[in-house]
Structure 1
Amino acid sequence: MKNSRQRNGEVEAFEKEEAEAEVAHENGRVSDVVLGLDGGTTSTVCVCMPLLPFSDHGLADPPPVLARAVAGCSNHNSVGETASKNTLEQVMAETLCKSGSTWSAVRAVCLGVSGVNHPRDQERILKWLRDIFPSHVKLYVHNDALAALASGTMGKLHGCVLIAGTGCISYGVSKDGREARAAGAGPVLGDWGSGYGIAAQALTAVVKAHDGRGQQTMLTDSILKALGLSSPDELIGWTYADPSWARIAALVPEVVSCAEGGDQIANKILVEAVQELAVCVKAVAQRLGLCGEDGNGSFPIVMVGGVLEANKSWDIGKEVINCIRKQYPEAYPIRPKVEPAVGAALLALNFFLKESERHHNS
């Protein structure tokens, strides 16, 4: 606990910084900025951008990134509230410092944070931010999937994002602002199109082949070699020594290379993953009516995550799009050119400018 003298000293220091910043601002030395954060289970990325008018239809280049900082996990479900709040404050302070800006130059902040699955989560993080920022700063908190969507659509909230890395989620926004999601509840609750889901099924196939419950598969030699193990029996110890999702998901390239080599078991695992991922997008598109009443309207599908990267002849992302297009022929993929933290900053920018416009018109 801080004593009152410490607290008073901090308040005075903060007020002094605010006063200096206001003077600098009036003298034109500090420009208005927005902050965008992408907070995941692994790391938290923050970027700072100037507050410049910008087309949210992707017709103009977005404003430049003035500074970028990276910190650790900010998912409160993983590290607890205190550590999560400290990480957010630290990464924002570092970004502002690198950009030559101050807290008082910030006009809007948008956080895309994993673990925000309920209005209660949103309100908790907004409360932390209100403790950090002056009252005039506009604050927006969303699930990290929204930042990923915005990274593909340059801040325009329409369409669907499919994220398939260690985990998977599909998240969409309709033109009238309704939102829907599918999956994203972790592998225990059915995220079988994820990197974890693909690799866990491959490990299961190796164990089944070894004990006589399943067909022989190239996956056995491929996975044992990748892990430096000599027998499938050793997989049990390897798996439970550290059953973290990312460690298991890292085996996806072995599954892809076996499928490319003609292994039927590996191929079947990937085909089923494609169907799972396509169903996630189709469920969201259907609930939001993204393709219009006739089913022929077009909508973007922003593709994010290592599982969807187009670097193999067995291209999971391409197959997912082909599968979706059988039902929604005008859906089109977007592979983002900017990272999700920039998507969050563009959301902050667009939200702020639209709010200012409404306020001005009223």
Structure 2
Amino acid sequence: DMTDSTDTVKKTEPGYIMGIDGGGTKTLLKIAGPGGKLLASCQGGPTNLYSSSRDTVRANLEQVIQDGLAQAQIHMKDLGCISLGMAGADRPQDHVILKELLAGIGMRCRILITNDAVTALYGALGKGEGIILVSGTGSICYGQKTDGSSHRAGGWGHIIGDEGSGYDIGRQILMEVMKSYDGRREPTVLSSLLQDERDLTSPESLLPFVYHSESGKSDIAALGVLLDPACEAGDPAALRIARNAARELFLCVESVLKALRFPGNRTELAMQGGVLVKGKQVKKELTDLLNRACPMVCIRKSLGDAAWGAIRMAAEKQSGSAGANPGTDTGS
């Protein structure tokens, strides 16, 4: 759900719009001036309410907002609107918490809050229609039509979802290496690649890395970089992992297409996240699947990031142009 606080603000054209992409590892902020001119772009610490404490989120938000205002050389009172796409901001109570935090920092302008998949869509395609597929540490697919209807697939976190994500791929690599070590699977190039990457003497010495409290999802996701070299070497285990990841991501896109029924299935799809931007094999397999099964879907290069998308969304809502009801239902 998107919430919009306009109680204290007259609906004037905002001179300055602040866009924030708040994630579990970092927060991106951009400020645009009249006519959409970019005035500030900066980065801060995590602002995800599910993975960080409320105090941490508040401190990080305050810091990145102050940095952005200083860079743009404007004051908080000059802002016409602050638009946030936040990981995990799907429930009304999350919106209440975020609005309280922003009010506590001194924010008095219009506040728009939505799920970060929505702002990623606006950033990637520059408008509120189409499909965005993200596969970074986690994965999610989100689609929206001009009438505001939307559907999401995936994005349910590393324990019950995030198929085809960096974390999923890293975990599968670790599993293949252990099975091979036991003799349950054929030898795999991934074993030597992993031993070099983590500087290990034997696969058993992986256990402290995997189960140590300091190791997080991103550490396991980082092992995904081993997939492409192993695939290039023709390693069956690596090729299997890549094929399965592509298939899972394809199913997410397919379910969004089925739910939204774009006329003639014609729409645009943008891909974001390290697995699809930096990686080769998964993207190649996925593109093949999409071209075969959904030829009317046009794969586009991303125009901008989700912080820019948050600004685009606010500007579109402000002008009341097509799709001016973005993210009414983020499918949660």
Shift of 1:71: 1.2
Equivalence for 1:331: 297
Shift of 1:117: 2.5
Higher relative contact order (CA 8 A, sep 6+): 2
Deviations 1:207-239 (A, max 9, x none): 011112112111111111111001111111221
Shift of 1:78: 1.7
**Aligned partner of residue 295 in structure 2, secondary structure:** coil
Single out whichever of 63-72 and 157-166 deviates more from structure 2. 63-72
Calculate the TM-score normalised by the size of structure 2.
Answer: 0.87
The structure whose Rg is larger is 1
Identify which of 251, 264, 270 aligns with 1:302. Answer: 270
Contact 1:35 1:348 in 2 (8 A): no
Report the Cα distance in structure 1 between the residues aligned to 2:142 and 2:52, rounded to whole angstroms: 25
Shift of 1:134: 5.8
Shift of 1:124: 2.4
Report the Cα distance in structure 1 between the residues aligned to 2:285 and 2:177, rounded to whole angstroms: 25
Equivalence for 1:345: 311
Report the Cα distance in structure 1 between the residues aligned to 2:163 and 2:271, rounded to whole angstroms: 17
Shift of 1:133: 5.2
Identify which of 123, 134, 138 aligns with 1:163. Answer: 134
Report the Cα distance in structure 1 between the residues aligned to 2:267 and 2:254, rounded to whole angstroms: 12
Contact 2:154 2:163 in 1 (8 A): no
Report the Cα distance in structure 2 between the residues aligned to 1:228 and 1:152, rounded to whole angstroms: 38
Equivalence for 2:45: 72
**Aligned partner of residue 47 in structure 2, secondary structure:** coil
Q: How does 1:1-362 map to 2 (within 5 A)?
A: 32-52=15-35, 63-132=36-105, 135=108, 137-154=109-126, 156-241=127-212, 242-290=214-262, 292=263, 296-309=264-277, 312=280, 314=281, 316-354=282-320
Contact 2:20 2:85 in 1 (8 A): yes
Shift of 1:352: 1.8
Shift of 1:138: 2.0
Contact 1:138 1:352 in 2 (8 A): no
Shift of 1:126: 2.7
Report the Cα distance in structure 2 between the residues aligned to 1:182 and 1:120, rounded to whole angstroms: 22
Contact 1:174 1:289 in 2 (8 A): no
Percent identity over the alignment is 30
Shift of 1:158: 0.7
Compared CA separation, residues 311 and 41, structure 1 to 2 (3 A) = closer
Shift of 1:327: 2.8
Residue type at the aligned position of 1:202 = I
Report the Cα distance in structure 1 between the residues aligned to 2:23 and 2:311, rounded to whole angstroms: 16
Contact 1:193 1:272 in 2 (8 A): yes
Contact 1:172 1:180 in 2 (8 A): yes
Single out whichever of 92-101 and 272-281 deviates more from structure 2. 92-101
Deviations 1:185-210 (A, max 9, x none): 11210322001101101110110111
Equivalence for 1:55: none
Report the Cα distance in structure 1 between the residues aligned to 2:48 and 2:288, rounded to whole angstroms: 34
**Aligned partner of residue 236 in structure 1, secondary structure:** helix
Contact 1:37 1:44 in 2 (8 A): yes
Calculate the TM-score normalised by the size of structure 1.
Answer: 0.80
Report the Cα distance in structure 1 between the residues aligned to 2:193 and 2:105, rounded to whole angstroms: 50
Residue type at the aligned position of 1:309 = V
Report the Cα distance in structure 1 between the residues aligned to 2:175 and 2:17, rounded to whole angstroms: 47
**Aligned partner of residue 216 in structure 1, secondary structure:** coil
Contact 1:159 1:172 in 2 (8 A): yes
Deviations 1:223-266 (A, max 9, x none): 11111001111111221124411111111121221011100111
Contact 2:17 2:33 in 1 (8 A): yes
Shift of 1:131: 4.4
Report the Cα distance in structure 1 between the residues aligned to 2:112 and 2:42, rounded to whole angstroms: 19
Report the Cα distance in structure 1 between the residues aligned to 2:319 and 2:73, rounded to whole angstroms: 23
Residue type at the aligned position of 2:24 = T
Report the Cα distance in structure 1 between the residues aligned to 2:103 and 2:215, rounded to whole angstroms: 37
